[in-house]
Structure 1
Amino acid sequence: MAAAAAAEWRTVRKRRGRHPRPAGRGAAPEAPEPSGDGGAVRRRVSEAREDLLISDLWHLTEGIIQKCLTKPLEQLQGVMVPISEALEHLQLEPSQPPAETPSSSLREDSVKRTSHFKCVCYGIGKFASCVIARNQLAFLLLFLEKLQIPRNHCYVFDPLFNELEISVLNTLGLTVLNENEEGKRSIYGEATIFYMIHCGTALYNNLLWSNWSVDSLSKMMIIGNSFKGIEGKLLARILLKDYSYVAKILKGIEEIEFPQTLPYMDIFNDTAIHWFPLQKLKELPSEIWTIREEPEYSEGEELEIIRNQRKLVQPFLGH
């Protein structure tokens, strides 16, 4: 599967941020490719998760998560509720080490206590050999636990995954996608969090296009490159020409940047949690919602994403 996926995609993402990464995603040279030891990879992911759990980064980010999720939850419920009640409904609990083989009753209890959200993850990279990618995966697992989102409700894809990594992700309980969506996934009315650390601007632009309505955007959150940062790096005319949906939504978005703490500076630099307040979306000019042309990019553009060479298909619907 991995070989077919690699053949289907081309070019590589470039990473933009305050701390540019050298080739290979990580600040340090990558280790050789693992040769089939899924248990060893899972142990490394588990160790990264344990380190994150006691880190200043996670401690600070937990508070940001609670703050960011309060307003979207109110929008989903259609009523304004006190913060304490909203957080209670979300049932945000301290993250705990996951049991190796949870019983069916515990699994059912976890599903009953889950929040309304689903999750989609693009672009984590080769976590079996890259410490940066591995930490991003470990953070994702903590995030799912924090929100009580079942792992099988998190859809993951990166064309760089090899067969070993796909096997590890399946063992962890995540749902691995087998289609290059290029970010063109509609949420179809389901509240969804997109986890897209250091992805290309075209990927965010495609995602916005696929959900270009007040109703859909108000049910979405994006954890990824700071949109304020994107605005600051590109000339206004270039942003509007090449990434028009990103440009048009800037006044309808709120974001909070991730804290920058050692030793995670290169892992989550230029990263923010974004959400789309319903009131802000309604205040945008009505005409911006009437134009929904699919984004097109010239072959010469540095899109920072890996393109799907197959014929365009409908967005993957999930399970």
Structure 2
Amino acid sequence: MMPDDEFIFVKSRRKNNKRKTLQLRGTISSNTCCVATKESVLGKLESAKQEIQISDFFSLLFELLLQTLNSKSDASVEQIICYGLGNFSENVTSRYQLALLLLLKHGLHTHVFIHDPLFNGVECDLLEQLGCKVIKQNEEGKRTIKIGTKTLAYFPHCPKQLINNFLWSNWNINLENCVIIGNSFSTIIETNTHKHLTQNAAYVQLIFPFVKEMSVVNSFRYNDIFNDLSVHAFPDLKGPSALSLWSSCEEPKYSKDDVELIMQEIIPALKHSNLQ
């Protein structure tokens, strides 16, 4: 039984389909664009949380995450940064991914800071109601973590440019304090040419030899919601082999024609287009 009439099975492994579809539609929603009521969205979220919480997928993921955190001197997580959920009031995949985020928030007893350019006003209100702090500005992933702050970055099915921006913004040994749950770095490296990586994921490419990546077994019953996720840690950035990394610090630049990443400068144009 499907969790929602709108759910469609997709066999493709291309993980950015959700965001590409939304972005190509030019979807920057307003309050009136959200047909679902807050009560109905909260009800569906609670059902998704319950389904995930009793799944083998969640048990294995949380155990893997705790093992990764326990390998550090301090296993606590002071904050979760989340990008890339999309319109969870309308999209089933986004809703399940938010449900997982809320379970992680509860399980780790921590704070959540979250942003997606596609969030509408109703969704922002709901997130605040659920105890999450909504980041108002589209930072394009360029959020700098305070030195020493233990951080879990949760980027489900995000564009590689967003991950790349986050790495650049924290391009120093402080990355040792970060754990990233998101698209497999191995998959990004293996499925893109060197030229494409240099243009769109240079910092992913640079850090890759120093990443400890642990694949998340995708045993959830819907195989395209949590596919290609890995837990990434950076345990050895103080060694001599990593010293040359930090000489690269140029801010990433991408083509405006790139449909994977919603850049801050194009949001006003998208909003204007939706009003016409």
Match of 1:96 in 2: none
Give the total of aligned pairs: 245
The equivalent position to 2:248 in structure 1, one of 291, 297, 310, is 291
Query: CA shift at 1:157, angstroms?
Result: 0.8
Residue 83 of structure 2 corresponds to residue 144 of structure 1: no
Percent of residue pairs identical = 34
Query: CA shift at 1:24, angstroms?
Result: 4.9
Distance, in Å, in 2 between the alignment partners of 1:172 and 1:47 is 15
Pair 59,116 (structure 1): closer, same or farther in 2 beyond 3 Å: closer
- Decide which structure has the larger Cα Rg and report it: 1
The CA RMSD over aligned residues, in Å, is: 2.4
Residue 153 of structure 2 corresponds to residue 194 of structure 1: yes
Match of 1:179 in 2: 137
| CA contact 2:164–2:204 (8 Å) conserved in 1 | yes
Match of 1:61 in 2: 61
Unaligned runs of 5+ in 1: 1-14, 26-32, 78-89, 91-114, 311-319
TM-score, length of structure 2 as denominator length: 0.82
Match of 2:226 in 1: 268
| CA contact 1:200–1:303 (8 Å) conserved in 2 | no
Match of 1:308 in 2: 264
| CA contact 2:206–2:245 (8 Å) conserved in 1 | yes
Distance, in Å, in 1 between the alignment partners of 2:238 and 2:194 is 21
Residue 129 of structure 2 corresponds to residue 134 of structure 1: no
How far does the alpha carbon of each residue in 1:195-215 deviate from its partner, in whole angstroms, 9 at most, with x for none?
11111111111111111111x
Distance, in Å, in 1 between the alignment partners of 2:13 and 2:45 is 26
| CA contact 2:34–2:120 (8 Å) conserved in 1 | no
Letter of the aligned partner of 2:150 in structure 1?
A
Distance, in Å, in 2 between the alignment partners of 1:280 and 1:139 is 29
Match of 2:79 in 1: 118
| CA contact 1:132–1:267 (8 Å) conserved in 2 | yes
Distance, in Å, in 1 between the alignment partners of 2:205 and 2:91 is 33
| CA contact 1:252–1:280 (8 Å) conserved in 2 | yes
Pair 288,180 (structure 1): closer, same or farther in 2 beyond 3 Å: same
Query: CA shift at 1:288, angstroms?
Result: 2.3
Query: CA shift at 1:38, angstroms?
Result: 0.8
Query: CA shift at 1:261, angstroms?
Result: 1.4
Pair 264,60 (structure 1): closer, same or farther in 2 beyond 3 Å: farther
Match of 2:13 in 1: 18
Query: CA shift at 1:156, angstroms?
Result: 0.9
